[in-house]
Amino acid sequence: MKKLLKQLTETFAPSGYEDEIRKLVRAEVEPLADEIQVDALGSLIVRKKPTKPSKASKKIMIAAHMDEIGLMVSHVDERGFVRFSPIGGVFGKYVHGGRVRFLNGVQGVIGYDRFDKTHEAPPLDKVFIDVGATSPKDCPVKVGDVAAFDRPFIEMGDRLVAKSMDDRVGVLVAIEALRALQSTPHDVYFVFTTQEEVGVRGATTSAFGIDPDLGIALDVTPAADTPDAAKMAMALGKGPCIKIKDAGALSDPRVVQWMIRTAEKNNIPYQREVLLFGGTDARAMQSARAGVPAGCISVATRYVHSPSEMVDYADVQNSVKLLIALLRAPIDLE
């Protein structure tokens, strides 16, 4: 799992430019799929058919987004410094001194030259990318080129750190659950979605096409276990988080209780999640067509949307166990 997570997180695929991560995921899941397709927005849809179809079988959509936050060149000045527009939630407090890699392989360093404000998070319109150029003529990138943060995957004991844990860790959970799911009474669609970071767009179109009976998003959630963190319950090492609410969706209470019952029955540690900000693909599934009961399993993550997002390995393993347990058994939401 760690080897695959390293491959997933070190692949560059900002929102709208998910080709490389889709190739990697497809290579992993194609041997496991009963059907596989790519939809018009680039989401990879992997179907696992029910072992013994019955009236109790449900069509379930599992959504984990492949994309990551990124940067797009908006201007190159006369000295070759690159200005950019954010793709998704890029925060000023994380960018200064950061390294980026463009999809064409060019690397750059994000700079900010206001030394009188070194203790402040710089606004994004005041920072720039230095790619070693001296003018627009020798600049190796142009307006419209796309980059993502450039940091390697590292292990710190039981803690794993990388850029794009959001949401490659959810992608990993989906792949490993699919790999371990020998049989299921349900018609399960594992969907590796696109453009979540810019408005859950891939999940919106995929959910419309699949028209599921039930939706489960797999994503990260900000941990609140660091000094002076927001007053929330999520922490590293205490199990997968069962989402009850975030800024984008209220999880269906029946789905929440089903997840909790399943975790307790299988002795899987879990946390109750109420997130004060942000959202997931669950919002798109919940409001698809005539509406879908939906929920979310989250992996608590420190430093979300930074180049060094941190998760606990046991939380990842237990998230896989919980998802497998949910999909193996008949579902009664009453």
Is 80 exceeded by the pLDDT of residue 129?
Answer: yes
Whether residue 299 sits in one domain with residue 176 = yes
Question: Over the stretch 204-263, which tens digit does the pLDDT of each residue have?
Answer: 999 999 999 999 999 999 999 999 988 999 999 999 999 999 999 999 999 999 999 999
Which of the listed residues 125, 149, 173 is the one where a domain comes to its end?
A: 149
Is 80 exceeded by the pLDDT of residue 307?
Answer: yes
Sheet with strand 159-162: strands edge to edge: 154-156, 159-162, 309-312
Angle at 167 between CA 249 and CA 285, to 5 degrees: 35
Structural domain for 307, as ranges:
2-68+163-328
| Predicted local distance difference test score (pLDDT) of residue 209 | 96
User: Which band of pLDDT confidence, cut at 50, 70 and 90, is reported for residue 55?
Assistant: confident
Whether residue 187 sits in one domain with residue 144 = no
Instruction: Please tell me the pTM assigned to this model.
Output: 0.95
Q: Residue 228 is which amino acid?
A: D
Total domains present in the chain: 2
Is 80 exceeded by the pLDDT of residue 115?
Answer: no
Whether residue 103 sits in one domain with residue 50 = no
Whether residue 203 sits in one domain with residue 145 = no
Is 90 exceeded by the pLDDT of residue 121?
Answer: no
- Rounded average pLDDT over 281-303: 97
Tell me how far apart the alpha carbons of residues 286 and 235 are, in angstroms, rounded to a whole number. Answer: 26
Tell me how far apart the alpha carbons of residues 29 and 21 are, in angstroms, rounded to a whole number. Answer: 12
Average pLDDT, the chain: 95
Which of the listed residues 121, 149, 177 is the one where a domain comes to its end?
A: 149
Q: Which two tokens stand for residue 193?
A: 């979605």
| Predicted local distance difference test score (pLDDT) of residue 116 | 77
Q: Which residue has the tokens 């397709």?
A: 37
Whether residue 180 sits in one domain with residue 303 = yes
Which of the listed residues 149, 171, 200 is the one where a domain comes to its end?
A: 149
Tell me how far apart the alpha carbons of residues 160 and 316 are, in angstroms, rounded to a whole number. Answer: 10
User: Which band of pLDDT confidence, cut at 50, 70 and 90, is reported for residue 119?
Assistant: confident
Angle at 322 between CA 287 and CA 7, to 5 degrees: 85
| Predicted local distance difference test score (pLDDT) of residue 272 | 98
**Is the peptide bond preceding residue 167 cis, with omega within 30 degrees of 0?**
yes
CATH number for 302: 3.40.630.10
Q: Is 290 a member of any domain?
A: yes
Is 80 exceeded by the pLDDT of residue 117?
Answer: no
| Predicted local distance difference test score (pLDDT) of residue 332 | 83
Q: How many residues would you count in the chain?
A: 334
| Predicted local distance difference test score (pLDDT) of residue 216 | 98
**Looking at 81-85, 131-135, 329-333, which range is the least confident one?**
329-333
Whether residue 83 sits in one domain with residue 54 = no
- Rounded average pLDDT over 109-132: 88
Whether residue 145 sits in one domain with residue 223 = no
Render 144-167 in DSSP notation, one character per residue. T-EEEE----EEETTEEEETTHHH
Tell me how far apart the alpha carbons of residues 193 and 38 are, in angstroms, rounded to a whole number. Answer: 10
Share of the chain above pLDDT 70, in %: 100
| Predicted local distance difference test score (pLDDT) of residue 333 | 84
Share of the chain above pLDDT 90, in %: 90
- Rounded average pLDDT over 159-188: 96
Q: Is 232 a member of any domain?
A: yes
Q: Which two tokens stand for residue 329?
A: 């058994």
Q: Is 154 a member of any domain?
A: no
CATH number for 80: 2.40.30.40
User: Which band of pLDDT confidence, cut at 50, 70 and 90, is reported for residue 118?
Assistant: confident
Whether residue 312 sits in one domain with residue 197 = yes
Q: Is 158 a member of any domain?
A: no
The dihedral built from the CA positions of residue 53, 58, 59 and 64, taken in this order, carries a sign that is negative
Q: Measuring CA to CA, which residue among 86, 89, 107, 85 is closest to residue 98?
A: 107
Catalytic residue numbers, as ranges: 196
Q: Is 231 a member of any domain?
A: yes
